[in-house]
């Protein structure tokens, strides 16, 4: 492996000059990859046509990312062949993939946070032992690429100071600078506002016009329908089918992904809101560094309604959730439940909130919702272990706890149905069901839910959404926080948009357009963009 000197093939100009030899930019044949017991890719065939946008959809763990990591040289396949521009290649590492004109924009950006844009761009493709000439050349080259593709970024900005959307542009610039002809994007819109996503799609379309090939990995069927030319569906490590996007529809794709019919739209009746159960008044919350993240937020949730809080991740939603559920002390303001003010300060604030009938499904199930090293039954009672039904005094009634766990496993269809299994060994969707089952079945008055379906399969999403609706119809007040705008729009009866720690607007999901919400999420407010008091 070369350690220092760069090959000519990595220069942008030479890679661009290689003549197209085949109609197919990428051809994968019979790719297999195992990780221990898991057969992540089984005999995968995939052909990607040059100059198209090719979508790859599949649930979590379907093997999409593994397949792309093989193409990008991050892993090597156990067997199978890879052809780039019609020629068979062995891609042994990322450097090699780059040299063949394959660039990747990872879901979690591969950027060095305290480097400038320019430094990030040249990292790994420096021209010589001293970086000054590389930086100079990169500056000129970036200027050209930025104009060609309409991708504006300040080359001297430090990564940690720029927005996530801008960081993603840097990743794209990085790939283009390395001469990428084929660009792989792994879940690119997960961290973007709707407007940023629209910008990204415009950039992708420009790239396609310039003859680049784009592989788009996503689980959002709407994006597939909107931008791709072809789409391949993966399920459980296998390639199920490749279709022309114009000849398919979201329902068919969802069915192919899950292997059975899935209801994409949440089926729910009109909300019947009753009396106000949860009231948050003038809440101010600071994060661990003392930065105020929730700035004077007030709202209320009534019995039998779901209030959704939309917003781009990192605008204070996490701190709001933590404060309302008693995990984080508020600076000022009050949380009132059933007309009584909750005393949430102190280390046992969360316990007091639970006792008062406020259940909480935290955003991050692995860090806050579960002790993943515990067996399932232990997690099934966590937070409620002091209740009399699970034992008296200092002793735990293990039998009772396990009976409880068994009942919930059956009721929520948690798989595998074994309460002795270590929680870490359940899939994301099943872990989430464990948390939901625990919190919902204590019959709380108020349910606070954060990111209920993050990293959860479509099939489980359907189940979880229906359970949340069931709670609503049982007359509970539900506060839902999610960065998935689609989820908020389909579940919530009322949408509050949070930006920079404030509620910047309220909207009726039935009438508000995605564009309106997107503007609010980006902090653009003009009096009438926010919906009025829309109540049935």
Partner 1 sequence: MTLAVILSTLDATIRLSTPLLLACLAGLYSERSGVFDIGLEGKMLAAAFAAAAVAAVSGSMWLGLAAGMTVSLGTALLQGLAAITLKGNQLIAGVAINMLAAGLTTFLGQTWFRQGGRTPALGPGERFEPVTLPLARELSGVPILGPIYADLVSGHYVLVYIAFIMVPVTAYVLYRTRFGLRVRAVGENPKAVDTAGISVTLMRYQAVIITGLLCGIAGAYFSIAQGSGFGNNMTAGKGYIALAALIFAKWKPVPAMFTCLLFGFLDALQIRLQSARLPVIGEVPVQAIQALPYVLTVVLLAGFIGKAVGPKAGGVAYTKER
78 lies in the site for partner 1, by CB under 8 A: no
4 lies in the site for partner 1, by CB under 8 A: yes
123 lies in the site for partner 1, by CB under 8 A: yes
Q: Which is nearer to partner 1, 99 or 437 (CB)?
A: 99
Task: Indicate the DSSP class of residue 91.
Answer: -
Residues 6+ apart with CB under 8 A from 68: 56, 104, 184, 186, 215, 217
119 lies in the site for partner 1, by CB under 8 A: yes
125 lies in the site for partner 1, by CB under 8 A: yes
Q: Which is nearer to partner 1, 1 or 394 (CB)?
A: 1
Q: Which stretch binds partner 1 (CB under 8 A): 71-79, 272-280, 474-482, 508-516?
A: 71-79
Q: Which stretch binds partner 1 (CB under 8 A): 90-98, 144-152, 303-311, 493-501?
A: 90-98
Residue 205 structure tokens: 């379309």
Contact by Cβ (8 Å): 419, 400: no
Residue 187 structure tokens: 């879940």
Contact by Cβ (8 Å): 449, 468: yes
Residue 298 structure tokens: 């007030």
Span 515-534, contacts to partner 1 by CB under 8 A: none
Nearest to 476 by CA among 452, 442, 438: 442
457 lies in the site for partner 1, by CB under 8 A: no
Q: Which is nearer to partner 1, 4 or 393 (CB)?
A: 4
Show the binding pattern over residues 216-235: x = contacts partner 1 (CB under 8 A), - = does not: --------------------
113 lies in the site for partner 1, by CB under 8 A: yes
Closest approach, Cβ 5 to partner 1, in A, equals 10
Contact by Cβ (8 Å): 524, 518: no
8 lies in the site for partner 1, by CB under 8 A: no
Binding-site member from 13, 17, 37, 129 for partner 1 (CB under 8 A):
129
Three-state DSSP string of 358-395: EEEECCCHHHHHCCCCCEHHHHHHCCCCCCHHHCCCCC
139 lies in the site for partner 1, by CB under 8 A: no
94 lies in the site for partner 1, by CB under 8 A: yes
Q: What is the CA angle 454-455-459, rounded to 5?
A: 100
130 lies in the site for partner 1, by CB under 8 A: yes
Binding-site member from 115, 201, 374, 390 for partner 1 (CB under 8 A):
115
Q: Which stretch binds partner 1 (CB under 8 A): 49-57, 124-132, 186-194, 242-250?
A: 124-132
Binding-site member from 131, 157, 164, 534 for partner 1 (CB under 8 A):
131
Q: Which is nearer to partner 1, 133 or 536 (CB)?
A: 133
Total residues in contact with partner 1, by rule CB under 8 A: 36
106 lies in the site for partner 1, by CB under 8 A: yes
184 lies in the site for partner 1, by CB under 8 A: no
DSSP character string of 387-447? SGGG-STT---HHHHHHHHHHHHHHTT-SS--TTSBGGGS-HHHHHHHHHHHHHTT--SEE
Nearest to 45 by CA among 34, 32, 54: 32
Task: Indicate the DSSP class of residue 9.
Answer: G
76 lies in the site for partner 1, by CB under 8 A: no
Residues 242 and 436: their CA atoms lie apart, in Å, by 35
Residue 93 structure tokens: 């590492």
95 lies in the site for partner 1, by CB under 8 A: yes
Binding-site member from 134, 168, 218, 315 for partner 1 (CB under 8 A):
134
269 lies in the site for partner 1, by CB under 8 A: no
Nearest to 486 by CA among 234, 271, 254: 254
- Cα–Cα distance list, 454 to 50, 314, 425, 464, 490 (Å): 33, 15, 17, 11, 15
Closest approach, Cβ 74 to partner 1, in A, equals 7
Span 30-69, contacts to partner 1 by CB under 8 A: 35, 66
Q: Which stretch binds partner 1 (CB under 8 A): 44-52, 121-129, 379-387, 493-501?
A: 121-129
Residue 461 in 3-state DSSP?
A: helix
Nearest to 337 by CA among 256, 400, 280: 280
Residues 469 and 271: their CA atoms lie apart, in Å, by 10
Binding-site member from 74, 201, 374, 390 for partner 1 (CB under 8 A):
74
Containing 108, the helix (H) or strand (E) segment is none
Binding-site member from 124, 357, 475, 523 for partner 1 (CB under 8 A):
124
14 lies in the site for partner 1, by CB under 8 A: no
Q: Which is nearer to partner 1, 137 or 403 (CB)?
A: 137
Rounded to 5 degrees, φ, ψ at 92 are: -100, -25
Closest approach, Cβ 180 to partner 1, in A, equals 13
Binding-site member from 49, 126, 445, 508 for partner 1 (CB under 8 A):
126
DSSP character string of 262-317? ---S---PPP---SEEEEEEEEEEE-TTS-EEEEEEEEEEETTEEEEEE--TTSSH
Q: Which is nearer to partner 1, 107 or 300 (CB)?
A: 107
Q: Which is nearer to partner 1, 159 or 409 (CB)?
A: 159
Q: Which stretch binds partner 1 (CB under 8 A): 15-23, 88-96, 290-298, 318-326?
A: 88-96
Residues 258 and 269: their CA atoms lie apart, in Å, by 26
The footprint of partner 1 (CB under 8 A) covers: 1, 3-4, 35, 66, 72-75, 93-96, 98, 104, 106, 108, 110-115, 119-120, 122-126, 128-132, 134
């Amino acid at each position: 492996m070369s350690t220092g000197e760069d090959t000519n093939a990595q220069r942008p100009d030479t890679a661009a000059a290689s003549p197209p030899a085949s109609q197919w930019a990428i051809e994968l044949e019979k790719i297999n990859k195992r990780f221990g017991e898991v057969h992540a890719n089984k005999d995968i065939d995939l052909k990607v046509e040059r100059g198209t946008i090719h979508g790859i959809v599949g649930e979590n763990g379907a093997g999409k990312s593994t397949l792309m990591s093989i193409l990008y040289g991050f892993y090597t396949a156990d067997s199978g062949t890879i052809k780039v521009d019609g020629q068979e290649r062995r891609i042994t590492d990322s450097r090699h993939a780059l040299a063949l004109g394959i660039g990747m924009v990872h879901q979690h950006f591969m950027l060095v946070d305290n480097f400038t844009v320019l430094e990030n761009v040249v990292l790994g493709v420096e021209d010589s032992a001293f970086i000054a000439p590389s930086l100079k050349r990169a500056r000129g080259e970036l200027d050209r690429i930025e104009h060609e593709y309409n991708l504006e970024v300040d080359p001297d900005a430090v990564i940690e100071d720029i927005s996530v959307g801008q960081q993603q542009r840097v990743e794209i610039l990085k790939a283009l600078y390395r001469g990428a002809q084929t660009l792989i994007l792994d879940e690119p819109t997960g961290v973007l506002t709707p407007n940023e996503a629209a910008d990204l799609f415009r950039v992708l379309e420009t790239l396609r016009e310039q003859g680049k090939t784009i592989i788009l990995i996503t689980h959002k069927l709407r994006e597939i329908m909107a931008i791709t030319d072809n789409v391949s569906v993966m399920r459980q490590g296998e390639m199920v089918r490749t279709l022309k996007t114009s000849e398919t529809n979201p329902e068919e794709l969802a069915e192919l992904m899950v292997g059975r019919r899935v209801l994409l739209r949440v089926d729910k009746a009109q909300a019947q809101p009753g009396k106000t159960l949860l009231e948050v008044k003038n809440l101010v919350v600071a994060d661990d560094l003392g930065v105020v993240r929730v700035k004077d937020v007030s709202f209320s949730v009534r019995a039998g309604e779901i209030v959704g809080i939309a917003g781009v991740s990192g605008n204070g939603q996490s701190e709001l959730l933590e404060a309302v559920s008693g995990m984080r002390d508020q600076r000022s303001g009050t949380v009132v439940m059933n007309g009584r003010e909750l005393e949430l300060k102190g280390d046992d604030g969360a316990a007091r909130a639970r006792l008062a009938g406020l259940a909480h499904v935290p955003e991050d199930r692995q860090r806050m919702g579960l002790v993943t090293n515990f067996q399932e039954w232990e997690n099934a009672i966590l937070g409620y272990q002091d209740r009399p039904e699970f034992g008296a005094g200092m002793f735990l009634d293990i039998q009772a706890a396990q009976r409880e766990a068994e009942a919930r496993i059956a009721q929520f269809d948690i798989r595998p149905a074994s309460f002795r299994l270590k929680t870490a060994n359940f899939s994301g969707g099943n872990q989430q069901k464990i948390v939901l089952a625990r919190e919902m079945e204590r019959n709380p008055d108020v349910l606070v839910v954060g990111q209920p379906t993050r990293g959860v399969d479509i099939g489980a999403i359907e189940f979880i959404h229906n359970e949340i609706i069931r709670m609503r119809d049982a007359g509970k007040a539900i506060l839902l926080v999610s960065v998935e705008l689609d989820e908020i729009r389909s579940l919530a009866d009322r949408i509050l948009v949070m930006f920079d720690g404030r509620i910047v607007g309220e909207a009726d999901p039935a009438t508000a357009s995605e564009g309106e919400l997107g503007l609010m999420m980006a902090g653009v407010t003009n009096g009438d963009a926010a919906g009025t008091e829309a109540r049935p």
